[in-house]
Structure 1
């Protein structure tokens, strides 16, 4: 008789075989799809059950009326859950408090539905059903996640963790894991990140716990990207001093606080939500943008002559290059003598009469064409030229993280600093934006950008 063992829930392929051949991507996709179907079924079931409980079989409206309303309401809930990151890949380990998060998102969905009903007067459901949907819907969605986690453990077995850090930190970590009775299997211990890939492969580890500070610079960005593709979770222990930074996304593993590391700061759902909100901004701002663009184009044509559009190669998302468009404010062949140089405060290359165009940022207006092409976004880190990018990546640790999202026409660094602010300080603003992104932050940046345009800050 042969014995079979459960396969760890981690891709154990070599980095060279990552990508579309990764067999664990389809498994994750199937699990997420199953959650989506289960959540939708829970919502529709709760809505119909609430009508049966309240009215029995003598319904005030027809079945088709309820069916259409319930399907629309359920779809709105699913949209809120998606943008609320309920369908992003969740870590295998760590205490997860799903109910508070699900309840908060359900409350947002119900408020959204109530707003739609008030505005359109369209019938979605009896008002008395809202409380039942809020309570039983939240419980049902939470139950689905608990059940999914149980199935995951049954299928792949207990998580197998690799401890990384100094001898004293590893010893303390092992004691915590043992004392807390945590359902983890410690499969290995190493002191150096250099051995990480080999140890994960040989020990078939599903997760990595970084127990010592100072390891982040060695694991970003490429090693972490490879581990993420292999479905290996990586967690950095939070030190007492780190709590002063106000880290929000912490999880408890064996009684110790950790934060899950991701190769790319914005999750897929948050990235899609950002794109959706920027489409709304574009619709609202379309007419003012067209008016300002036509005015600036006409003025520059009069002052500078025929060639008013300048194309510059810039570095975009994930390091890809594209041609960024600008209104030309400098003389032709301005860099023939100097080569690629940064703009100066009183740059002699700027055409007389166009300094205010540059100072008010109106020369950036053609970049809305780059936005429509999908090369840029309205708000994000400003794209740099390849020469400067290569220089900064060699000098400033973590500079490449700003390429996690499409570059923007404006950004937190632009409204917080000046043209000539040191790149390391600008990077701090860019990373702060990536970590703390929200629609409210984008709106604040837009408002501050309008203020910068009017006061003409350099």
Structure 2
């Protein structure tokens, strides 16, 4: 329950206490907050109302005086929603003058829009300036036009046709600049009038964090409503400029929800990386934009035009894409791959089944409980490659290389990874994916998660038939900490091309016999 802490009464003539200034902050079903209206002050001056959450000594917080009425309505708005339609109108407008080359113009518009998106030209920027975007804008437009022009020249052997197409593309290029200027001016006007803004909290309270807060209060064109500072162990927040303090780093997920913020800026942070990662990886921050002030500001690390607030550079932190259209493509590719592989590899599957039966008798398929995405158990299938053991031993015994229970044929299947082929059925069922962290037994997941804090983070994605750690030589009796680092690197840098590279390296490992 949120309550106001003791504070002086309102000054004479100030009128009754307002009952709705902080209604936005109180969770559903709780008593709204009332506060004393503060005297009129400069936009740069921090607010002074103090509030207490649950009455704890560490939970004293200071919240902004007047929240933005538009913040809740604009949380879902994104930069591309305005820029993309205006760009397409500019790129397609020349068709109205000459319909003969409409197919080429449509192709240029689509290819250019994709190139703009890949180059980050539809991402939200704090410093909005069309002049900053001109180099990338026209470089990518010219590249798109060149690609389409090659296709047009191949299809039409007429020089006059290609010439006409290029004239229409030139008209699109002329219209592209004023179109961008219009969309950027519209964004600036909406921000300055606070029609569109997003709540932001700043991690830290040092000089850079204080200056950022001042800039956000004074200049609404950055599109951010400053909601307060988040405390870290190395920051005292004793100065007036380092307030309002809304809470502590370990409560970041809850603070983002209560302050209705969807932007977190990391500045002046001097705390262990593991503590910071644990806070920003919380599920409640999945839809939150993360920005960071680089520590070595004299050495810019981003390509293209860097973003900044005032003279302070800010860098958007890349978040792993764990859902959406790309993951739908990944799942579709998994189903197609597993179906085709089961059909084409059926003779090899039969060969492995016969070899397992001759060496170990009945029970050629070995089923074992493993942990999948979000910690859910499933039954994994493999060809049996060693003499049977009891269930308790199979769940808790760590297999190592040169295990005496592994026969010659089982060792051959392990070295070529053929014993993993039945997991294609697990992929069809949706228990697994083709590329992902390798699944492990519940006993070892619990044990490794305690010993290695990063290990549990592997289960953010489906487990895989092969993975980056395995093709990097981390199989069998290799350090668990190294495997966890490689698996988390894969998750945080995932792309369809990275999956393709892992698959190609897996094929090379199979032919090289580099299995365990």
The normalised TM-score by structure 2 is 0.64
1:315–1:321 Cα contact (<8 Å) kept? yes
User: Structure 2 matches for 1:87-126, cutoff 5 A?
Assistant: 93=126
Return the match for 2:504 from 442, 447, 454: 447
Return the match for 2:228 from 188, 206, 230: 188
Residue 210 (str. 1) matches residue 266 (str. 2): yes
Distance of 1:369 and 1:107 partners within structure 2: 46
Distance of 2:298 and 2:353 partners within structure 1: 49
* Residues 75-112 of structure 1: per-residue CA shift (max 9 Å, x gap): 6777777787888xx56746696666666766676677
Return the match for 1:171 from 207, 214, 236: 207
1:241 Cα deviation (Å)?
9.9
Distance of 1:161 and 1:327 partners within structure 2: 53
- Corresponding position of 1:50: 94
* Residues 122-170 of structure 1: per-residue CA shift (max 9 Å, x gap): xx997434555567568757865774675477565555433322x5xx2
2:370–2:442 Cα contact (<8 Å) kept? yes
1:46 Cα deviation (Å)?
3.2
Return the match for 1:161 from 182, 200, 221: 200
Residue 410 (str. 1) matches residue 466 (str. 2): yes
Distance of 2:494 and 2:118 partners within structure 1: 13
Question: What is the DSSP-based 3-state SS (H/G/I as helix, E as strand, rest coil) of the residue aligned with 1:218?
Answer: helix
Distance of 1:456 and 1:154 partners within structure 2: 65
RMSD over aligned Cα atoms = 5.0
Distance of 2:115 and 2:336 partners within structure 1: 17
- Corresponding position of 1:325: 381
| Runs of 5+ consecutive residues of structure 2 not aligned to the other structure | 1-17, 31-69, 233-248
1:95–1:252 Cα contact (<8 Å) kept? no
Distance of 1:6 and 1:142 partners within structure 2: 37
Distance of 1:263 and 1:11 partners within structure 2: 27
2:307–2:313 Cα contact (<8 Å) kept? yes
2:367–2:381 Cα contact (<8 Å) kept? yes
| Runs of 5+ consecutive residues of structure 1 not aligned to the other structure | 17-22
Question: What is the DSSP-based 3-state SS (H/G/I as helix, E as strand, rest coil) of the residue aligned with 1:413?
Answer: helix
- Corresponding position of 2:482: 425
The normalised TM-score by structure 1 is 0.71
Distance of 1:111 and 1:282 partners within structure 2: 38
Distance of 1:393 and 1:346 partners within structure 2: 27
Which structure shows the higher helix fraction? 1
1:277–1:439 Cα contact (<8 Å) kept? no
Return the match for 1:311 from 352, 367, 371: 367
- Structure 1 residues 80, 363: closer, same or farther in 2, change over 3 A? farther
- Corresponding position of 2:235: none
1:171 Cα deviation (Å)?
2.4
Question: What is the DSSP-based 3-state SS (H/G/I as helix, E as strand, rest coil) of the residue aligned with 2:431?
Answer: coil
- Structure 1 residues 72, 204: closer, same or farther in 2, change over 3 A? closer
Return the match for 1:237 from 262, 287, 293: 293
Question: What is the DSSP-based 3-state SS (H/G/I as helix, E as strand, rest coil) of the residue aligned with 2:388?
Answer: coil
Distance of 1:240 and 1:365 partners within structure 2: 48
1:278–1:377 Cα contact (<8 Å) kept? yes
Distance of 2:296 and 2:80 partners within structure 1: 39
* Residues 250-272 of structure 1: per-residue CA shift (max 9 Å, x gap): 85344334444577454635434
- Corresponding position of 1:348: 404
Distance of 2:369 and 2:275 partners within structure 1: 30
Question: What is the DSSP-based 3-state SS (H/G/I as helix, E as strand, rest coil) of the residue aligned with 2:409?
Answer: coil
